[in-house]
Structure 1
Amino acid sequence: MKSFHDKVAAITGAGSGMGRELAIELAKQGCHVAISDVNENGLAETVEQLKAYSVRVTAQSLDVANREAVYAWADQVVADHGKVNLVFNNAGVALGATLEGVSYEDFEWIMNINFWGVVYGSKAFLPHLRASGDGHVINTSSVFGLFAVPGNGCYNASKFAVRGFNECLRQELELTRAPVSLTSVHPGGIKTGIAQSARMTKSLEGVLAKDEKSAKDNFDKLFITTANRAALIILKAVQGNKRRVLVGPDAKLFDVMVRMLPAAHQRLVTSAARKQAARSGV
C-alpha cells in the first residue's frame, strides 16, 4: 500500500496518543477514518481535530475487550464507508504489579484489552480487508513484547502474546496469498497518557517503588518519543510493508541488547530495576 489516499482506516484507541496522531496523519493524506475509543471525551476531541481535513470521519465508543461490540463496529465501518483497507488495533492499557502479587481480575483485565482486543479486531476486520483487495492489519505490541521487565509481567505477557499472534498471522496471510498484509508495531517509550492512567497495585510497594505516584513517575521517565513521531514511523512501515517496526531509539537499542545477549540481558534489566528502586527510596 504505497498511498493512503481514498483508503479507509479503522483505528482503536483513537481518543488520545498514537491513535489520535495516526488518525490525523492519515487524514492529512486523504484517508477516510473510522475511529473508536472507550474514552468518549477524548474521542470527541479527536473528531474535532479531524474536521480540518476533507475526509469522511465516523466515531464509535468502543470497549475492545467486548468481542460482540468489536464485530458490530467492523460491520458498521463498512456500512458507513463502503469498505475498509486498514485496521490499527492500537488500544492498550498498562498494569504495574508483581506476578506473585497480582490478582487474577487485574491480570484478566489487561489481557482482555491488550491481547484479546487485538485478536477480536484482527478477526473481525479480516473478511472486510480481504474484500477490499488491498488490506493491511497493524497491531500494536511493544518493546516489552521483545524483552521482559520486573513489575510489568502482565503487560509483558500481553505484548509477547500479540507479537506471536502477529508473526503467525502474517505468515498465514502470505501462505494463502491473501490481498492483506500485517505489520507488528513495537513502540519504545512514547509520550502518551498510558503511564498516568495505568493501574498500579500495592504489590510494587517496597519492591520497585515507594508508592503508586513514584511508580507512575518512574514509568513516565521512560517516554522519549512523541506520539506524532511514532505515528509517522508506523505509517512509513506500513507503506514499506514491513513485518515489524521498532518505534523510537530506545526500542532499537533494546532490540540489539536482546539479540546480542539473549539470556544475559535479564541480569542487566534486574540490576537496572534494583538501582531504580533504590533511587525511589525502596
Structure 2
Amino acid sequence: MKSFENKVAAITGAGSGIGRALAFGLARQGCQLALCDVNAEGLAETAAQARKLGVQVSETLVNVADREAVHAWADQVVAEFGRVNAIFNNAGVAQGGTVEGNDYADYEWIMNINFWGVVNGTKAFLPHIKVSGSGHIVNVSSVFGLFAQPGMSAYNASKFAVRGFTESLRQELDMANCGVSASCVHPGGIKTNIAKTARMNASLSSVTGQDADKAREQFNDQLLRTTPEKAAQVIINGALANKRRILIGPDAYALDGMQRLWPAFYQRVVTASMRLAARLSPKSSSKKAQTATE
C-alpha cells in the first residue's frame, strides 16, 4: 500500500495511547476506521474525535483475547465498510515480576492478550485483507521483543513471540505475492498508560530494589519519553514504506544496537546495571541504614 487514503483500517487498543494516535493519524490521511478496545469510555472518545476529521468510524467493544469476538468483529467490519485493508494489532498489557515470583496465571494473562491477541487479529483479518487486493498487517511488539531484562520474563516472552510470529508471516506473504504485507513494530518508551496499568508483584523488588509502586513511578518518569503521536506517525510511515521492522525512539535504536553488537554479552551489562541501580535505590539505602542501627 502506498497510501491510506480511501482505505479501511482496523485498530485494536484504540481507546488510548498509540492506538488513539494511530486513529487520528490515519483519519488525517482520509482512512476509514474500525476501532476496538475493552475501555468503552476511552473508545467512545477516540471515535468521536476521529469523526470530527471527516471519516467514517465504527467502534466496538472487543477483548482481543476472545478469539470468537475478534473474528465476529472482523466480519462486522467488512459488512459495514465493504472491505478492510489493514489491521493494526496494537492492544497490549504489561507485567513485572521474577520467574520464581510469577504465577502461571500471570503468564497466561499476558500471553492471551499480547500474543494471542495478535494471532487472533491477524488470522481474523488476513483473509479479508487479501480479498481487498492491497493491504498491510501491523503487529506491535516492543523493544523488549528484541532485548530482554530481568523482572520482565512474561512481557519479554509475549513480545518476542509477536516478533517471531510476524517475521514468519512477512516471509509467507512475500512468497505468496498476494498484495498484502506485514510489519513488526518495536517501540521504546512511549508516554502511554501501559506502565500505570501494568501488573507488578512483590518479587520485582528483588530486581529493582524498590516496591512495585516506586518502580512504576520511576519507569513513567525516566523511561517514557516518546509521545504516542510521534510513535503513530513512525508506524504509519513505516507501513507505507513496507518496512519489516519499525523501531520507535532513540532508546529502541540504542538497545537494538547493543543486542546486535553483543548478542549474548549484553545480558551481563544489563545485570550489572540493574544490580547497581538496586543498590542505589532509596529502599535499598533505607534497609542498609535500618540494619546498621539494629
TM range (shorter): over 0.9
Cα distance per residue 1:22-43 (max 9 Å; x no partner): 0000001100000000111110
* Contact map agreement 2:150 2:207 (CA 8 A) in 1: no
Distance 1:167 1:206 in 2: 34
Cα distance per residue 1:127-181 (max 9 Å; x no partner): 0000000010000011000010111110000000000000000001111222210
Distance 2:140 2:116 in 1: 12
What is the RMSD computed on CA atoms of the aligned residues? 0.9
Give the helix-richer structure, 1 or 2. 2
Where structure 1 has 5 or more consecutive residues not aligned to the other structure, the ranges are: none
* Contact map agreement 1:11 1:89 (CA 8 A) in 2: yes
SS in 2 for 1:88: strand
The two structures have a TM-score, normalised by structure 2, of 0.94
4+ runs deviating over 4 angstroms:
none
Aligned to 2:89: 89
Larger Rg: 2
Cα distance per residue 1:210-267 (max 9 Å; x no partner): 3121121132121110000000001110110001110111101111101111111111
Where structure 2 has 5 or more consecutive residues not aligned to the other structure, the ranges are: 285-294
1:273 deviation in Å? 1.4
Aligned to 2:108: 108
* Contact map agreement 1:200 1:215 (CA 8 A) in 2: no
Report the more deviating stretch, 174-183 or 91-100. Answer: 174-183
1:51 deviation in Å? 2.4
Cα distance per residue 1:91-132 (max 9 Å; x no partner): 000001101110011110000000000000000000000000
Distance 1:48 1:54 in 2: 11
Distance 1:219 1:110 in 2: 19
Aligned to 1:169: 169
The two structures have a TM-score, normalised by structure 1, of 0.98
Aligned to 1:72: 72
Distance 1:262 1:191 in 2: 28
SS in 1 for 2:232: helix
Aligned to 1:122: 122
Q: Is 1:143 aligned with 2:143?
A: yes
Q: Is 1:29 aligned with 2:29?
A: yes
Alignment: residue pair count: 282
Q: Is 1:223 aligned with 2:236?
A: no
From the superposition, tell whether residues 113 and 3 of structure 1 become closer, same or farther in structure 2 (CA, over 3 Å).
same
Distance 1:236 1:122 in 2: 20
SS in 1 for 2:207: coil
Distance 2:108 2:206 in 1: 24
Percent identity over paired residues: 59
* Contact map agreement 2:6 2:32 (CA 8 A) in 1: yes
Q: Is 1:211 aligned with 2:211?
A: yes
Report the more deviating stretch, 117-126 or 173-182. Answer: 173-182
* Contact map agreement 1:21 1:231 (CA 8 A) in 2: yes
Aligned to 1:42: 42
